[in-house]
């Protein structure tokens, strides 16, 4: 959603003027810029550490994928999959820095989010898919021998023609490692075996049709992802291009960007885009459907937001990056608003844990509920929406305005 900053500034200024004229006792002083700056620095340090972990673990993932491509086997495929799953935990937490006018979304900077994490993905756009009759159909880029597999060509095909024509990023790699998740139960002869994720055989990279092209494609998109993550790591690192730009922003502009990001991601992205459509429309809208990693995606996304609310991030090495939290910053202005934010953030973590503790994959969880049934996925969505409203209230308390839709 776009809004007119000039008009917004005018309305806010007018509102403050009216309040100040009506009663000096009712006027609220602006939050201390020093404390705002301290919270902004906490954000920068956490973002930098999180992007470094994401890049480092993606490099480790690339080494496992390289080993698999060089010598495809059950064990090297398992190693590559496990490395993808591990790296996702760190990338998922970085989603909290999206929609903050930063390099991940801003096309004038890097603007690589669509290339890194676009979804949902039409599997048939990349490789073969089941035809529903025990066979497969191959109309994807891998099977199209007239399509030259180069980085530039694959990038140009990303989101080409329609939104789910995804050719790059985490989910392209996921599909190439796991294949379709068909949930097939051979005993029942039905597609409801939710404990099973995609079961692509390693022979897809040895004796299957287009095995060499499949290797080439996987190599290209893995290298591309790692390079994109390196750019994000470099620009957010201390002394990096965007880090310097960010640290030079006016305090309230930086604060608005930060809170707009976590407010929108909590409500507009996770609650409204990743949970509700999945409940309503099923597995095709599940975020990491090929690997059945969606529960863990939820863990990473929710904790990425919470890291900033509580002012603490745990790095891959186990070290803690800590600083002034959003709760503490707001408490200096209005303890009641701070308490509400802390309560809603705790409730969100509680609803997340309740979903994870079911011991079921996300596709099974959403198969057992519908919109309005108040199931565990919908409860998490509602908690995220409530959390986002408190983030917006916190922003208002600090003298800035955000959009969470």
Q: Is residue 8 part of a domain?
A: no
199 pLDDT above the threshold of 70: yes
pLDDT tens track for 34-58: 999 999 999 999 999 999 999 999 9
pLDDT tens track for 97-132: 999 999 999 999 999 999 999 999 999 999 999 998
Q: Is residue 403 part of a domain?
A: no
Instruction: Look up the pTM and report it.
Output: 0.91
Q: Which of 83, 91, 210, 106 is nearest to 149 (CA)?
A: 210
Residue 333: pLDDT band (50, 70, 90) is: very high
Rounded Cα distance between 228 and 249, Å, is 24
| Residue 64 structural domain | 31-397
Rounded Cα distance between 68 and 58, Å, is 15
Rounded Cα distance between 99 and 321, Å, is 22
Structure confidence at residue 239 (pLDDT): 98
* Strand duo 129-130 + 136-137: pairing: antiparallel
190-198 — which CB contacts under 8 Å span 24+ positions? 192/367, 194/292, 194/360, 194/361, 194/363, 194/364, 194/367, 195/361, 195/364, 196/292, 197/290, 197/291, 197/292, 197/361, 198/290, 198/291
255-258 — which CB contacts under 8 Å span 24+ positions? 255/36, 255/39, 255/40, 255/395, 255/398, 255/400, 256/395, 256/400, 256/401, 256/402, 257/100, 257/101, 257/102, 258/39, 258/40, 258/43, 258/100, 258/308
Q: Is residue 157 part of a domain?
A: yes
Handedness of CA 270, 276, 281, 282 (dihedral sign): positive
What length does the chain have? 405
Structure confidence at residue 273 (pLDDT): 95
Q: Is residue 25 part of a domain?
A: no
294 pLDDT above the threshold of 80: yes
Q: Is residue 23 part of a domain?
A: no
Structure confidence at residue 170 (pLDDT): 98
Structure confidence at residue 32 (pLDDT): 85
Q: Is residue 77 part of a domain?
A: yes
CATH number of the domain within which 258 lies? 1.20.1420.20
Q: In the predicted model, what is the mean pLDDT of residues 271-276?
A: 96
φ/ψ (deg, to 5) at 193: -90, 80
- DSSP code for 193: -
Structure-block tokens of residue 134: 């025990």
Structure confidence at residue 253 (pLDDT): 98
Rounded Cα distance between 235 and 397, Å, is 31
Domain count, the chain: 1
pLDDT tens track for 209-218: 999 999 999 9
- Strands (DSSP E) found in 287-358: 312-314, 320-322
Q: Which of 13-17, 177-181, 249-253, 286-290 has the lowest mean pLDDT?
A: 13-17
Q: What percent of the chain has pLDDT over 70?
A: 92
Residue 133: pLDDT band (50, 70, 90) is: confident
Structure confidence at residue 241 (pLDDT): 98
Q: Which residue in the block uniquely carries the two structure tokens 């068909």?
A: 182
Q: Cα-atom radius of gyration of the chain, to the nearest Å? A: 23
Handedness of CA 171, 176, 178, 182 (dihedral sign): positive
Rounded Cα distance between 223 and 218, Å, is 9
Structure confidence at residue 195 (pLDDT): 87
188 pLDDT above the threshold of 80: no
Structure confidence at residue 5 (pLDDT): 34
Q: In the predicted model, what is the mean pLDDT of residues 316-326?
A: 98
Average model confidence (pLDDT) across the chain? 91
pLDDT tens track for 343-376: 999 999 999 999 999 999 999 999 999 999 999 9
Q: Which of 38, 55, 88 is nearest to 258 (CA)?
A: 38
Look at residue 185 and give its three-state secondary structure.
strand
192-196 — which CB contacts under 8 Å span 24+ positions? 192/367, 194/292, 194/360, 194/361, 194/363, 194/364, 194/367, 195/361, 195/364, 196/292
């Amino acid at each position: 959603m776009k809004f007119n900053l000039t008009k917004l500034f005018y309305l806010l200024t007018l509102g403050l003027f009216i309040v100040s004229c009506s009663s000096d006792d009712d006027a609220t002083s602006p939050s201390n810029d020093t404390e705002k700056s301290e919270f902004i620095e906490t954000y920068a340090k956490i973002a930098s550490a999180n992007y470094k972990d994401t890049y480092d673990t993606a490099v480790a993932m690339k080494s496992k994928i390289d080993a698999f491509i060089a010598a495809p086997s059950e064990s090297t495929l398992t190693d590559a999959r496990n490395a993808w799953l591990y790296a996702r935990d760190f990338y998922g937490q970085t989603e909290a820095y999206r929609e903050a006018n930063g390099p991940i979304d801003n096309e004038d900077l890097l603007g690589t989010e669509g290339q890194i994490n676009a979804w949902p993905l039409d599997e048939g756009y990349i490789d073969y898919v089941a035809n529903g009759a025990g066979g497969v159909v191959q109309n994807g880029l891998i099977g199209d021998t007239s399509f030259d597999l180069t980085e530039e060509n694959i990038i140009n095909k990303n989101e080409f023609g329609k939104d789910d024509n995804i050719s790059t990023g985490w989910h392209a790699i996921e599909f190439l490692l796991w294949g379709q998740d068909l949930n097939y139960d051979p005993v029942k002869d039905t597609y409801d075996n939710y404990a099973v994720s995609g079961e692509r055989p390693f022979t897809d990279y040895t004796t299957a049709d287009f095995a060499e092209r499949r290797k080439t494609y996987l190599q290209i998109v893995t290298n591309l992802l790692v390079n994109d993550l390196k750019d994000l790591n470099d620009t957010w690192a201390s002394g990096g291009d965007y880090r310097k730009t960010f640290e030079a922003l006016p305090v309230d502009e930086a604060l608005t960007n930060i809170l707009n990001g976590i407010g929108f991601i909590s409500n507009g992205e996770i609650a409204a885009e990743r949970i509700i459509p999945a409940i309503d429309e099923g597995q095709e809208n599940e975020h990491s459907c090929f690997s059945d990693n969606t529960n863990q995606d939820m863990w990473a996304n929710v904790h990425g937001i919470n890291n900033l609310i509580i002012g603490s991030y745990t790095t891959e090495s186990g070290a803690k990056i800590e600083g002034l939290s959003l709760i503490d910053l707001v408490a200096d202005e209005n303890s009641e608003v701070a308490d509400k934010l802390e309560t809603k953030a705790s409730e969100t973590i509680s609803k997340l844990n309740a979903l994870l503790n079911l011991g079921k994959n996300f596709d099974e969880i959403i198969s057992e509920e519908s919109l309005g049934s108040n199931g565990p996925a919908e409860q998490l969505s509602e908690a995220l929406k409530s959390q986002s409203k408190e983030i917006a209230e916190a922003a208002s308390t600090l003298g800035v305005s955000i959009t969470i839709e």
